């Protein structure tokens, strides 16, 4: 049920107080407090007292809970109000009583962009009247007076202006009829469910109280919560380490990426690369002739952040790529890395955007005593004051690439730029482009990462890359899906990145790659791989979490059909994600009992249980592991001895489990995971 409620316009955070109409001046504080007779508190979600928005994606339902109660024996009712920010009218959804004065309501926003919601509560005088009369009638106490009071209560709602025209007419007619009706007729009518419904729709809401705050909500498009990313270096797509790849080379790779089942294709920076202090292969300080440099050292004579590296091709070529990608079900994501090479045009054009040292040199990026001599940082502040031209220019760069068909940005190291800048720029961009998605590439302290999510980032890199054991994974998933972070932080589980060659994968062999692929694709709504992962590439610089001969500093040629690749596993996971609604949500995870600490065993399911998947993943890539486990028959209302039909989603056949306890044995060399679908038995639930 959706109803429309109009309230006087007012600033966010304040709720309206009715105008006092008493005979003499009264303490306005008294009037203000008195207007909020019903207690409304403990709203969830409410992020930092309403300072930051909660988040949903279009098609998702936002569930809102609150404690709502009145004084004395009052019965109260409450409703959830919501609207797209800027709309005049509120949509109203009823709230349902749970327990212990807690209520829940929900809504499903239809549009993307900023929304807001709040709660109203009122004394449900009519329900209390029915309760009172019912009790007294049942106890044989006389109720003539009560019936007269009921008739008057009804009449007092005529003119309340609520409900449909039909309701209002019916209310008026009934009130008239009740004036002179005999008691038996009054009792029959006034106590009826029909009249209760009429009063719910059209009756006056006594002591209508608005919650003190209007709370913000960001509604994103669906890819904000459900996406599969594939990262590649365009310059490595020629297939020849001696020839710089072009957009056309990338276009030729699109069927491959589509075949793996991804829907976002993400490139490291595509801009001209500086020559001054260019890094050589394996991040050496001096480049050799022919070294291509790091794409993160942005800016050269050919241009900066709004230019394309000439060897990749032209803007026309790029446009063709964007279109071709779309035809392959792929959306392009670009890297926004606010590093400038010493050759960046801004350095000459905008002296005040940079930090100059007393000797007239520019300040390089540093992590004392280390100095990154191929990059300088733009500054956002001159001392205490922001430099608006810097902020605006960055906004314009996002808008520039949006005008070239790019709506997804992976943002490099956002935690090294000021939080207020992100809060401002993301809102600025999304004002006209609410479809824009910003992925925060911050690997840093937890509160910093969460703050970036709160100030506006659509998605966030995570600690997944370093969560390997059963205990670590359960603890981390529980934090992400049960604390406030479920409303604020959409993680994107990357299994690797050009910067992170995880220790686990350096030694796990092929089985470990399968394990991490299955975990990422099933645990998170958003996940990603950096190319090479599907080929089980994991050769490190010894003792480091970095790739040997990293693609960041040289052109690579990959053998996409390399023996032992796990392309099939990845394609399967992406296909299952598309096919099974249970995999398209994030919070719907439950870890079940598996009596082996090396096997992670969990279920993902839709609310109605029609989509119910179980995963058993052997986290130990080197050894066979087996264990008894519990089939969650109880979720279907089945007894422990019941049977349930199961579909093996990898081997593609059906069988039956009889009884709650089953056993599994997993040989990682064969396949380190099982994926089962439970078929809801007819009759159960």
**Contact predicate 517/615, CB 8 Å:** no
CB 283 within 8 A of CB 553: yes
By CB under 8 A, name the one of 8, 72, 182, 564 that touches a second copy: 72
Told to check if 640 binds a second copy by CB under 8 A, we report no
368 binds a second copy (CB under 8 A): yes
- Decide: is 26 part of the binding site for a second copy (CB under 8 A): yes
User: What's the rounded Cα separation, in Å, for the pair 435 and 516?
Assistant: 30
Residue whose CB is less far from a second copy, 153 or 616: 153
Note whether 113 and 81 are within 8 A (CB).
Answer: no
Q: Provide the minimum distance between the beta carbon of 492 and a second copy in the complex, in angstroms, as a whole number.
A: 21
d(CA 365, CA 323): 37
For a second copy, the binding residue among 83, 235, 253, 415 (CB under 8 A) is: 415
CA distance 432 to 407: 12
| Residue-level length of the chain | 685
Footprint of a second copy on 460-519 (CB under 8 A) = none
Question: Smaller CB distance to a second copy: residue 61 or 363?
Answer: 363
Site stretch for a second copy (CB under 8 A), options 228-236, 253-261, 302-310, 421-429:
421-429
Considering the complex, what minimum distance in angstroms separates the CB of residue 558 from a second copy? 35
Kind of pairing between the strands at 89-94 and 331-336: unpaired
Q: Say if residues 599 and 470 touch (Cβ distance below 8 Å).
A: yes
> Would you say 155 or 503 has its CB closer to a second copy?
155
Q: Is 367 in the site for a second copy (CB under 8 A)?
A: yes
State the catalytic residues: 412, 441
Radius of gyration from C-alpha coordinates of the chain? 31
Strand 331-336 and strand 264-266: the pairing is: parallel
CB of 229 to a second copy, least distance (A): 25
Of residues 65 and 620, the one with the C-beta less far from a second copy? 65
Site string for a second copy, 170-209 (x = CB under 8 A): ------------------------------------xxx-
Residue 344 near residue 304 (C-beta atoms within 8 A): yes
Q: Write down the least CB distance from residue 616 to a second copy, Å.
A: 34
First to last CA, the chain: 25
Task: Closer to a second copy by CB, 139 or 563: give it.
Answer: 139
> Does residue 148 bind a second copy (CB under 8 A)?
yes
Contact 481/587 with Cβ under 8 angstroms? yes
Residue range at the interface with a second copy (CB under 8 A); choices 441-449, 565-573, 591-599, 623-631? 441-449
Strands (E), 315-472: 331-336, 339-340, 364-367, 370-377, 381-382, 385-386, 408-412, 437-441, 459-460
Q: Which is nearer to a second copy, 31 or 402 (CB)?
A: 31
In three-state secondary structure terms, 674 is strand
Query: Which residues have CB under 8 Å from 561's CB, separation 6+?
Result: none
Residues 82-111 touching a second copy, rule: CB under 8 A, are: 100-101
Q: Is 420 in the site for a second copy (CB under 8 A)?
A: yes
In the complex, the smallest distance separating the C-beta of residue 455 from a second copy, rounded to whole angstroms, is 9
Of 3, 44, 149, 373, which lies in the binding site for a second copy, with binding defined by CB under 8 A? Answer: 149
410 vs 415, which CB is nearer to a second copy?
A: 415
Q: Out of 91, 451, 487, 556, which residue is the one contacting a second copy (CB under 8 A)?
A: 451
| Closest separation in Å from C-beta 428 to a second copy | 8
Q: Which stretch binds a second copy (CB under 8 A): 239-247, 282-290, 353-361, 486-494?
A: 353-361
Our finding on whether 44 is near a second copy (CB under 8 A) is no
Binder to a second copy among 7, 17, 39, 181 (CB under 8 A)? 39
- What is d(CA 434, CA 438) in angstroms, rounded to the nearest whole number? 11
**Distance in Å, CB of 529 to a second copy, minimum:** 29
Which is it for the CA torsion 459, 465, 466, 469, positive or negative? positive
Contact region for a second copy (CB under 8 A) — 32-40, 216-224, 309-317, 533-541? Answer: 32-40
Q: Rounded distance, CA 680 to CA 685, Å?
A: 8
| Number of residues counted as binding a second copy (CB under 8 A) | 73
Candidates 44, 67, 248, 479; binder of a second copy (CB under 8 A) is 67
What residues pair up with 1 in beta bridges, in sequence order? none
**Is 42 among the residues that bind a second copy (CB under 8 A)?**
yes
Which DSSP string corresponds to 364-395? Answer: EEEETTEEEEEEEE--SEETTEE-HHHHHHHH
Question: Can you tell me which of 59, 239, 386, 405 binds a second copy, judged by CB under 8 A?
Answer: 386
Distances (CA, A) of 85 to 82, 115, 173: 9, 5, 39
Alpha carbon distances (Å) from 53 to 62, 87, 218, 374, 442: 12, 17, 6, 38, 20
What is the helix (H) or strand (E) element at residue 540, kind and residue range? Answer: none
Report the alpha-carbon distance of residue 540 to residue 533 in Å, rounded.
13
Other beta carbons less than 10 A from residue 544's beta carbon: 11
CB of 378 within 8 A of CB of 409? no
CA 297 to chain centre: 31
Considering the complex, state which of residue 378 and residue 599 has its C-beta at the smaller distance from a second copy.
378
- The residue assigned the tokens 């020629």 is 238
Q: Indicate whether 135 belongs to the interface with a second copy (CB under 8 A).
A: yes
CB of 207 to a second copy, least distance (A): 6
Judged by CB under 8 A, which of 58, 104, 136, 567 binds a second copy?
136
Q: Does 30 bind a second copy (CB under 8 A)?
A: yes
Binder to a second copy among 1, 6, 73, 561 (CB under 8 A)? Answer: 73
Asked if 352 is part of the footprint of a second copy (rule: CB under 8 A), the reply reads no
Among 41, 185, 575, 608, binds a second copy (CB under 8 A): 41
Q: Does 385 bind a second copy (CB under 8 A)?
A: yes
Nearer residue to a second copy within complex by CB, 152 or 607: 152
Q: Which is nearer to a second copy, 49 or 259 (CB)?
A: 49
CB of 424 to a second copy, least distance (A): 5
**Nearer Cβ to a second copy, position 259 or 446?**
446
Please state the closest distance from residue 506 (CB atom) to a second copy, in A.
Answer: 28
Helices (H) and strands (E) in the chain, counts: 16, 32
């Amino acid at each position: 049920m959706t109803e429309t409620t109009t309230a006087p316009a007012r600033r966010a955070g304040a709720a309206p107080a009715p105008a006092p109409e008493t005979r003499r001046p009264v303490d306005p504080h008294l009037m203000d407090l008195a207007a909020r007779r019903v207690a409304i508190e403990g709203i969830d979600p409410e992020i930092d007292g309403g300072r930051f928005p909660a988040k949903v994606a279009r098609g998702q339902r936002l569930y809102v809970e609150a404690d709502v109660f009145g004084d004395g024996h009052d019965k109260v009712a409450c409703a959830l109000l919501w609207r797209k920010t800027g709309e005049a009218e509120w949509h109203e959804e009823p709230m349902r009583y749970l327990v212990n004065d807690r209520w829940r309501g929900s809504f499903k926003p239809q549009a993307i962009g900023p929304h807001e919601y709040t709660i109203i509560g009122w004394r449900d005088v009519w329900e209390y009247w029915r309760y009172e009369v019912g009790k007294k009638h049942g106890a044989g106490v006389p109720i003539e007076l009560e019936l007269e009071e009921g008739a008057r209560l009804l009449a007092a709602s005529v003119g309340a202006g609520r409900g449909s025209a039909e309701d209002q007419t019916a209310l008026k007619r009934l009130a008239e009829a009740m004036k002179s009706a005999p008691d038996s007729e009054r009792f029959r009518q006034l106590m009826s469910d029909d009249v209760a419904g009429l009063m719910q729709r059209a009756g006056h809401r006594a002591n209508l109280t608005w919650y003190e705050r209007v709370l913000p909500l960001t509604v994103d498009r669906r890819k904000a919560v459900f996406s599969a990313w594939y990262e590649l270096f365009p310059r490595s797509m020629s297939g020849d380490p001696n020839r710089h790849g072009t957009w056309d080379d990338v276009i030729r790779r699109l069927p491959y990426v589509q075949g793996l089942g991804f829907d976002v294709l993400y490139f490291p920076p595509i801009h001209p690369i500086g020559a001054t202090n260019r890094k050589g292969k394996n991040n050496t300080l001096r480049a050799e002739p022919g070294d291509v440099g790091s794409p993160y050292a942005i800016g050269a004579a050919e241009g900066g952040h709004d230019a394309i590296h000439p060897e990749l091709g032209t803007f026309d070529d790029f446009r063709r790529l964007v279109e071709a990608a779309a035809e392959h079900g792929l959306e392009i994501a670009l890297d926004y890395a606010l590093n400038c090479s010493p050759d960046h045009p801004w350095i000459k054009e905008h002296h005040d955007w940079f930090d100059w040292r007393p000797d007239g040199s520019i300040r390089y990026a540093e992590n004392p005593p280390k100095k990154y001599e191929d990059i300088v940082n733009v500054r956002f502040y001159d001392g205490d004051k922001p430099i608006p031209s810097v902020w605006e220019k960055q906004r314009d760069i996002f808008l520039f690439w949006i005008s070239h068909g790019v709506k997804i940005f992976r943002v490099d190291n956002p935690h090294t730029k000021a939080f207020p800048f992100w809060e401002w720029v993301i809102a600025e961009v999304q004002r006209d482009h609410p479809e824009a998605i910003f992925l925060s590439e911050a690997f840093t302290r937890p509160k910093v990462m969460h703050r970036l999510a709160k100030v506006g980032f659509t998605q966030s890199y995570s600690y997944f890359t370093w969560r390997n054991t059963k205990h670590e994974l359960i603890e981390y998933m529980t934090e992400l899906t049960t604390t406030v972070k479920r409303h604020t932080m959409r993680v994107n589980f990357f299994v690797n990145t050009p910067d992170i060659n995880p220790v686990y994968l350096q030694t796990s062999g092929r089985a470990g790659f399968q394990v991490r692929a299955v975990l990422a694709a099933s645990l998170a709504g958003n996940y990603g791989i950096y190319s090479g992962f599907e080929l089980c590439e994991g050769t490190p610089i010894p003792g480091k979490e970095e790739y040997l001969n990293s693609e960041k500093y040289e052109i690579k040629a990959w053998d996409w059909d390399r023996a032992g690749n796990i392309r099939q596993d990845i394609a399967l996971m992406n296909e299952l994600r598309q096919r099974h609604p249970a995999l398209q949500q994030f919070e719907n995870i439950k870890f079940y009992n598996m009596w082996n600490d090396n096997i992670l065993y969990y279920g993902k399911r839709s609310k109605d249980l029609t989509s119910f998947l179980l995963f058993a993943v052997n986290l130990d890539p080197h050894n066979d592991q087996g264990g008894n486990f519990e089939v969650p028959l109880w979720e279907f209302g089945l007894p422990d001895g019941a049977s349930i039909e199961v579909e093996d989603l990898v081997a593609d056949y059906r069988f039956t489990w009889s009884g709650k306890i089953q056993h599994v044995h997993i040989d990682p060399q064969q396949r380190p995971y099982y994926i089962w679908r439970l078929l809801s038995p007819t009759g159960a639930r």
